[in-house]
Amino acid sequence: MKITRKVKLILKNYESDNPGTKGNICRILMNGKLGGTGKLLILPVDQGYEHGPARSFAPNPEAYDPHYHYKLAIDAGLSAYAAPLGMIEAGADSFAGQIPTILKLNSSNSWSTSKDQAIHGSVDDALRLGCSAIGFTIYPGSDYQLEMMEELRELAFEAKEVGLAVVVWSYPRGGNLTKKGETAVDVCAYAAHMAALLGAHIIKVKPPSEHVEQEESKKIYSKMNMELLSDRVAHVIQSSFNNKRIVVFSGGAAKDVEGLIEEIKQIRDGGGHGSIIGRNTFQRPREEALILLDRIIKIYQNKD
Amino acid sequence: MKITRKVKLILKNYESDNPGTKGNICRILMNGKLGGTGKLLILPVDQGYEHGPARSFAPNPEAYDPHYHYKLAIDAGLSAYAAPLGMIEAGADSFAGQIPTILKLNSSNSWSTSKDQAIHGSVDDALRLGCSAIGFTIYPGSDYQLEMMEELRELAFEAKEVGLAVVVWSYPRGGNLTKKGETAVDVCAYAAHMAALLGAHIIKVKPPSEHVEQEESKKIYSKMNMELLSDRVAHVIQSSFNNKRIVVFSGGAAKDVEGLIEEIKQIRDGGGHGSIIGRNTFQRPREEALILLDRIIKIYQNKD
Amino acid sequence: MKITRKVKLILKNYESDNPGTKGNICRILMNGKLGGTGKLLILPVDQGYEHGPARSFAPNPEAYDPHYHYKLAIDAGLSAYAAPLGMIEAGADSFAGQIPTILKLNSSNSWSTSKDQAIHGSVDDALRLGCSAIGFTIYPGSDYQLEMMEELRELAFEAKEVGLAVVVWSYPRGGNLTKKGETAVDVCAYAAHMAALLGAHIIKVKPPSEHVEQEESKKIYSKMNMELLSDRVAHVIQSSFNNKRIVVFSGGAAKDVEGLIEEIKQIRDGGGHGSIIGRNTFQRPREEALILLDRIIKIYQNKD
Amino acid sequence: MKITRKVKLILKNYESDNPGTKGNICRILMNGKLGGTGKLLILPVDQGYEHGPARSFAPNPEAYDPHYHYKLAIDAGLSAYAAPLGMIEAGADSFAGQIPTILKLNSSNSWSTSKDQAIHGSVDDALRLGCSAIGFTIYPGSDYQLEMMEELRELAFEAKEVGLAVVVWSYPRGGNLTKKGETAVDVCAYAAHMAALLGAHIIKVKPPSEHVEQEESKKIYSKMNMELLSDRVAHVIQSSFNNKRIVVFSGGAAKDVEGLIEEIKQIRDGGGHGSIIGRNTFQRPREEALILLDRIIKIYQNKD
Amino acid sequence: MKITRKVKLILKNYESDNPGTKGNICRILMNGKLGGTGKLLILPVDQGYEHGPARSFAPNPEAYDPHYHYKLAIDAGLSAYAAPLGMIEAGADSFAGQIPTILKLNSSNSWSTSKDQAIHGSVDDALRLGCSAIGFTIYPGSDYQLEMMEELRELAFEAKEVGLAVVVWSYPRGGNLTKKGETAVDVCAYAAHMAALLGAHIIKVKPPSEHVEQEESKKIYSKMNMELLSDRVAHVIQSSFNNKRIVVFSGGAAKDVEGLIEEIKQIRDGGGHGSIIGRNTFQRPREEALILLDRIIKIYQNKD
């Protein structure tokens, strides 16, 4: 695998990491159709844990099978595939070496009575299953945020020691945050910044809205131009060590294709490093999903 | 022991497991009268912990003796015997090698003031007692669900490392769940799916009712045919990685023989991998129990 | 030391234990005047922790001295002496090898604001002090019961690994239990059964009353004859793995000699394996205590 | 250093301890002007942590300097010097070998919102700083008493393993105790007894008042003569394993010299093993403090 | 690097530390323009974590880049640079050996619902990143103060063992403290004293106000002259082991230059060892910040 100049530059930003970790970030950045462009597209399948199997897979019942997602990610030429323990275990051997995997180490579920998640995987699991990275969600703002950050600290340290990359889902939620505030531009930028400070290599946030949540932030944001999503994405990227950390954006709730495509163009225009799209793909028939993913890839290739 | 093609196919689904763990799943699948069929029948005796000795054993006082259950499971030709620490300790040497055992690592009791269980056994106990698997209960929905899942994570990882299989009792309970919701079809399927995601090799759930508990699930279930228990069992199997994980169903509260037999036929017809039946057997006189177990075995052998 | 046939049979019930643990159970069963009979009489001195020194020892001030209790247990020909850390430390060397000791690892005190106990000793303490067993109290029913059971699990595993025996004080208390329910026959039998399931070698319970506490148990107990204490003791013994675990009964609050003697006869008649008597002995002058203990021994020797 | 017969007899009471620990107890008992008498006088300086620096040291500003206390203890010929981590660190090298030190491992402070203390030192700190003992406070009666006792258990075990002595400050406080009850005679004796049971080598309590706190204790105390402080001290000594454990008494809040001298005479007459005096010394000018300490020493030498 | 006599004298105060730790304190004291003077000036950049990226860096957008701060600290000739994990990781290699770094191990954030912080770095992180010290915040007074102190204990012990220095941010907050009380002179002195007792090498507090918070302290402070900030600083220094521990003062909220300069002169006049200034520098354009930092350095050089 010959590395491109773009990827080399990105890897330079991870200057404190050991060659093992850099190698795994490189593996993700060089894989699939976006390999070498410095952009990436990840398939996450933790919907079953979060919303239950029927709500996740009934619209496209082939997706009940863990192999389905491995194949989809491979065939679509994605950068990586992310899922919780059981999903990865169920295909780790069949698809070994065919696509970088991210072991999602914690999850919530629809019955949760607290804004917290259960840790259901470990760095040792990631190693035995041949993963390139661990994934971990924090809920900044939640009453459990400090504990979640401390759990991440421990797992991230362990991962870096054994040469894995660390992907952080930074999803503000709970505590004093309003529902609308969860995707506010100040909140998203803050969430991305904290993930970077916590040592994340790749940060996942939601596309930020125009809303400004924190009273103390209103003055400073009133002077900044945040009208377009691309402006707000650029602000999140800037807040992530001035573009020295990779930031990918979720697709959010399933929406119509054109809405999604438009959003992704803005993410690209704002300098976002890519997308992480679950429901919008695996809930459609495979052929439709492949076409959609190809369109997204073209956007990040600047061909659309 | 020559392994059948059916069992070989099932073992292929546990592709990430080491030979030790696969060997122990195989041992359970090849044991007893159902050995090699891909179906299994397990005797669990944790009733004494959950409901007290008199309510469990007074109807058939021979059952106060731990040896009674070992003998019953062996003589009936069952697949495995599951019980908490003391019960296994009391017969582990006398019956060593005669039947695969599952060490149940946690239990609740009738006085419990929280929807949680005490962990009273360890993977090291399972090893010293020659068990093939550990058993662990989670209560999805409970205020303690996250802790229980995290406990399972640790124990399951440890078990897999030393070549044991992991059996998960996934019993929704507590939190925002209604009593009726505990056996709702959406809830049972979700519970089975989470157990699979948590890395279970064998999943135990209750036979699901027609009730749909979660508001957000009603739309999706309204399009699915869930009238017969066999339909609902098939949905649970599908939700367990599309039949890539073994799912067994409990017998529930003691009921009349024909009701139980009918239920088990539906479980078989829906593709369930077997049953795990306690009170319905050991609370009857031994001879009656042996006859009943033989009838159940015949169902899973497709002879009834 | 030549082992009797009776003790050999009892040791066979501890089939999963290593020779170290069996040796220590044997040491207790072969010690003192009841040595070899399969019965045992233990002196416990944790009163000072539970009720304070003056309430415990002022009636017989010699008992303030830790050596007093060692000597009493040795001179009376008892089976073992049980006490918390400091009491054992204060005589462990002077009386080394003269009587098996049980290190009580946890205690409550009169000021406790929760139904829980402090752990104040360890398995390593038991080893360095030459003890034969550890002792641990659980409060089934208490809001802390799950934690206490989990603490026991850990300590019991450790003890068995290094060849010590495990004595469990199973004292229902707190939570939804009524005061009267603490000694109810259903509750005592359940408490003894859980201790057995938790892996205890020797179980200590209070003599059960005729009261049935749990609503769900009333039907089943209404069919059983529980009029005499000896009937109830027999039920507790049956609930302890059908007499496969040693069960000893406490003497309860200090009472008159004849009441105590009568109670102990019933315990013997019900098949109880012995008594564990504290306040009733060390609060009397030494000579009186020796006479009383001799009478109790004679009961268990079937000489009274 | 030649050991006296008196000290030899005291050391015999610590029969389960290893030579390292006995050596350190011996070092304290043989140090300073009381060396060899079996009595001891300790300087504790944790006032700064408990009440703040100005309230502790402003009356005698030289005392802001950690070296001041080392020098005072050495020049006065005391038995040992006790202080928290930073105070010991600041003089451990300058005064190495010149006086036995006790590392106080936990402290409260005036802002505490719970009756608990922070652990701020470890057994390993005590070793690296050349201390002879660790010091630890428990609050019997407090809602945190069980946790504090469990912390002590762990630290005391560790200390004994590496040959250090264990000094326990047993200060009843919180929970159901009244303010007056904190120094009640029944409560002090109980607190000393529990410290002994927890494995303390040296016990520190407050001088007990005549008040009897616990309802259940009133009858038993009504028969005992507790009029004089010396009687009450004798009762505390008896409650500490019948004089088999060293008990020292605090000086309490700063008071006039004669009041303090009178109190100490009673402590001596009751058989107390010594005093532990902080504020009463370091808040006076050095010369005054040296004179006072000399008077106290003379009392314990039976020269006053 | 030749060490000055002044620095040698300061190092003597850390008499219990190993050569590794002394070497790192020395490195900080000998670095930059204040090197060798015994004074120090530190740049802390944890604002992003505490207040979010826009509020921290939007006034001077170059500061979004982690390299900016390294360069500023180096070019201004500061003593050390302190920041959380991600910020240090992002420049540790580029600027290795160019300035001593302090890894800040915990942080709060604007959404926190409790007066506590998340630990997001470890001593092992500090080592792999080549840091000279760890930084840790405690909130004396907070309901979480005991836990925070215990966390510090563990981290500080570990740091000292591997030759790192320990910098403690002692910021009273929460519990019974009033807002005004957080910077009260009695509270600041107490906070500094506790940090010293907890084993800090370098203590950071806020410049104390004239307010006296604690009722019990009013009498003692009424006799002391606390009118000038320099008096209050001197009192804090005295409370920090009589000038045996290094104490630096924060700049507080961004203020006008002359106000800041005046404050720093008073800190110097009171014997403070230096300043730790964040927002006041990196929120100004680089050239302005360099001029300001130079003015501050001149003050500590006694040139202003």
Please name the member of E13, E157, E175 whose beta carbon is closest to the beta carbon of D113: E175
Contacts of E265 (CB under 8 A, 6+ apart): E299, E304
pTM, two decimal places: 0.96
Q: Give the confidence band of C173 by pLDDT, cuts at 50, 70, 90.
A: very high
| Residue E239 C-alpha, separation from nearest chain A C-alpha, in angstroms | 32
Q: How far is CA D243 from its chain centroid? A: 16
Cα distance between residue B75 and residue B84, in whole Å: 21
pLDDT for position C175: 94
Q: What percentage of chain A's residues is helix, strand, coil (to nearest 5)?
A: 45, 15, 40
B220 contacts in chain A (CB < 8 Å): 54-55, 58-59
- Locate D109 and state its tokens: 């402070």
Cα distance between residue E278 and residue E76, in whole Å: 13
Which chains have 3 or more CB–CB distances shorter than 8 Å to chain C? B, D
Task: Please name the helix (run of DSSP H) or strand (run of DSSP E) that holds residue B282, with its range, or none.
Answer: helix B279-282
pLDDT for position D2: 84
The chain B residue lying nearest C196, using CA atoms, is B86
Which residues in chain E land under pLDDT 50? none
Task: Please name the helix (run of DSSP H) or strand (run of DSSP E) that holds residue B81, with its range, or none.
Answer: strand B80-84
Contacts of A172 (CB under 8 A, 6+ apart): A139, A140, A141, A181, A182, A187, A188, A190, A191, E111
Q: Quick check: helix, strand or coil at residue B143?
A: coil
Cα distance between residue E275 and residue E281, in whole Å: 12
The chain A residue lying nearest E60, using CA atoms, is A220
pLDDT for position D171: 97
- Give chain A's largest Cα–Cα span: 54
A199 contacts in chain E (CB < 8 Å): 85-86, 89, 120
Q: What is the four-CA torsion angle of C286, C288, C293, C299, rounded to 10 degrees?
A: 170
Residues of chain D with a CB closer than 8 angstroms to some CB in chain E: 48-49, 51-55, 58-59, 61, 64-66, 84-94, 107, 109-114, 116-122, 124-125, 128-129
pLDDT for position A252: 64
CB contact under 8 A, C112 and D146: yes
Better-predicted residue by pLDDT, C222 or D253: C222
- Locate D228 and state its tokens: 């004089």
- CA distances D194 to C51, C87, D170, Å, are 10, 10, 8
pLDDT digits (tens, 9 = 90+) for A58-110: 999 999 999 999 999 999 999 999 999 999 999 999 999 999 999 999 999 99
Q: By C-alpha distance, which of D205, D204, D214, D216 is closest to D183? A: D205
* Residue C151 predicted with pLDDT over 80: yes
Contacts of E299 (CB under 8 A, 6+ apart): E261, E264, E265, E268
CB contact under 8 A, A15 and E114: no
From first CA to last CA, the distance across chain D in angstroms is 27
Count of CA atoms in the C-beta half-sphere (13 A) of B56: 25
Q: Quick check: helix, strand or coil at residue E252?
A: coil
**Selected residue of D111, D113, D279 to mutate for chain E interface (largest E Cβ count, 10 A):** D111
Better-predicted residue by pLDDT, D212 or D304: D212
C131 contacts in chain D (CB < 8 Å): none
Judge contact between C48 and C72, C-beta under 8 A: no
* Residue B217 predicted with pLDDT over 90: yes
Please name the member of E52, E59, E118 whose beta carbon is closest to the beta carbon of A193: E52
Pairing type for strands B202-205 and B165-170 reads parallel
- Locate C107 and state its tokens: 């205690």
Strand partners, C62: none
Cα distance between residue D73 and residue D70, in whole Å: 5
Helical segments of chain D, H only: 5-12, 19-30, 47-51, 53-57, 66-75, 85-89, 123-128, 145-161, 185-197, 218-222, 229-239, 257-269, 279-282, 286-300
| DSSP label of C210 | S
- Mean pLDDT confidence for A181-196: 97
Phi, psi of D61 (to 5 degrees): -60, -20
CB contact under 8 A, A146 and E118: yes
pLDDT for position C251: 82
pLDDT for position E83: 98
CB contact under 8 A, E55 and A157: no
pLDDT digits (tens, 9 = 90+) for A108-161: 999 999 999 999 999 999 999 999 999 999 999 999 999 999 999 999 999 999
Neighbours of C222 (CB within 10 A): 9
Neighbours of A22 (CB within 10 A): 18
Please name the member of C55, C92, C121 whose beta carbon is closest to the beta carbon of D15: C92
pLDDT, averaged across chain D? 96
The chain D residue lying nearest C86, using CA atoms, is D197
Q: Give the confidence band of D253 by pLDDT, cuts at 50, 70, 90.
A: low
* Residue D254 predicted with pLDDT over 60: no
Strand partners, E246: E202
pLDDT for position A189: 98
- Mean pLDDT confidence for B103-123: 95
Contacts of E118 (CB under 8 A, 6+ apart): A145, A146, A147, A149, A150, A153, E106, E107, E108, E109
- Please state the three-class secondary structure of A208-275 as a single string: CECCCCCHHHHHHHHCCCCCCHHHHHHHHHHHCCCCCCEEEEECCCCCCHHHHHHHHHHHHHCCCCEE
Chains A and D touch (3+ CB pairs under 8 A): no
- Locate D81 and state its tokens: 């010097």
Please name the member of C140, C157, C235 whose beta carbon is closest to the beta carbon of B109: C140
* Residue C252 predicted with pLDDT over 70: no
| Residue E85 C-alpha, separation from nearest chain A C-alpha, in angstroms | 6
Which amino acid type is present at position E100?
P
- Locate B130 and state its tokens: 């020659």
Neighbours of E255 (CB within 10 A): 13
Cα distance between residue D125 and residue D102, in whole Å: 11
- CA distances B299 to B202, B232, B292, D187, Å, are 20, 18, 11, 70
Judge contact between C131 and C159, C-beta under 8 A: no
pLDDT for position B256: 87
- Mean pLDDT confidence for B169-181: 96
Cα distance between residue C200 and residue C206, in whole Å: 16
Q: Is C39 left (phi over 0), alpha (psi -120 to 50) or beta?
A: beta
Judged on CB neighbours under 10 Å (0-12, 13-18, 19+), D291 is: middle
CB contact under 8 A, A112 and B146: yes
Q: Give the confidence band of A212 by pLDDT, cuts at 50, 70, 90.
A: very high
* Residue B273 predicted with pLDDT over 80: yes
Please name the member of C84, C111, C124 whose beta carbon is closest to the beta carbon of D157: C124
- Mean pLDDT confidence for A24-34: 98
E189 contacts in chain D (CB < 8 Å): 52-54
Chains C and E touch (3+ CB pairs under 8 A): no
Q: Quick check: helix, strand or coil at residue D101?
A: strand
pLDDT digits (tens, 9 = 90+) for C39-98: 999 999 999 999 999 999 999 999 999 999 999 999 999 999 999 999 999 999 999 999
Cα distance between residue C248 and residue C278, in whole Å: 13
Please name the member of D51, D84, D122 whose beta carbon is closest to the beta carbon of E197: D84
CB contact under 8 A, A244 and E92: no
CB contact under 8 A, B157 and A124: yes
pLDDT for position E54: 96
Strand partners, C169: C137, C204
CB contact under 8 A, B118 and C196: no
Q: Which of E204, E218, E244, E255 is catalytic?
A: E204
The chain B residue lying nearest A119, using CA atoms, is B150
Judge contact between A117 and A168, C-beta under 8 A: no
pLDDT for position E94: 97
Which chains have 3 or more CB–CB distances shorter than 8 Å to chain D? C, E
* Residue B253 predicted with pLDDT over 90: no
Judge contact between B40 and B70, C-beta under 8 A: no
* Residue B2 predicted with pLDDT over 90: no
Phi, psi of E173 (to 5 degrees): -175, 145
The chain C residue lying nearest B54, using CA atoms, is C220
Cα distance between residue A271 and residue A257, in whole Å: 21
Q: By C-alpha distance, which of E143, E24, E166 is closest to D86? A: E166
Judged on CB neighbours under 10 Å (0-12, 13-18, 19+), D59 is: middle
Judged on CB neighbours under 10 Å (0-12, 13-18, 19+), D225 is: exposed
Written as one string, the DSSP assignment of E84-101 is EHHHHHTTTTTTTTTS-E
Chains E and A touch (3+ CB pairs under 8 A): yes
Burial B93-127 (b: 16+ CB within 10 A, else e): eebeeebbbbbbbbbbbbbbeebbbbbbbbbebbb
Q: By C-alpha distance, which of B267, B115, B246 is closest to B177? A: B115
Which amino acid type is present at position D264?
I
Strand partners, E168: E136, E203
Q: Is E33 an annotated catalytic residue?
A: no
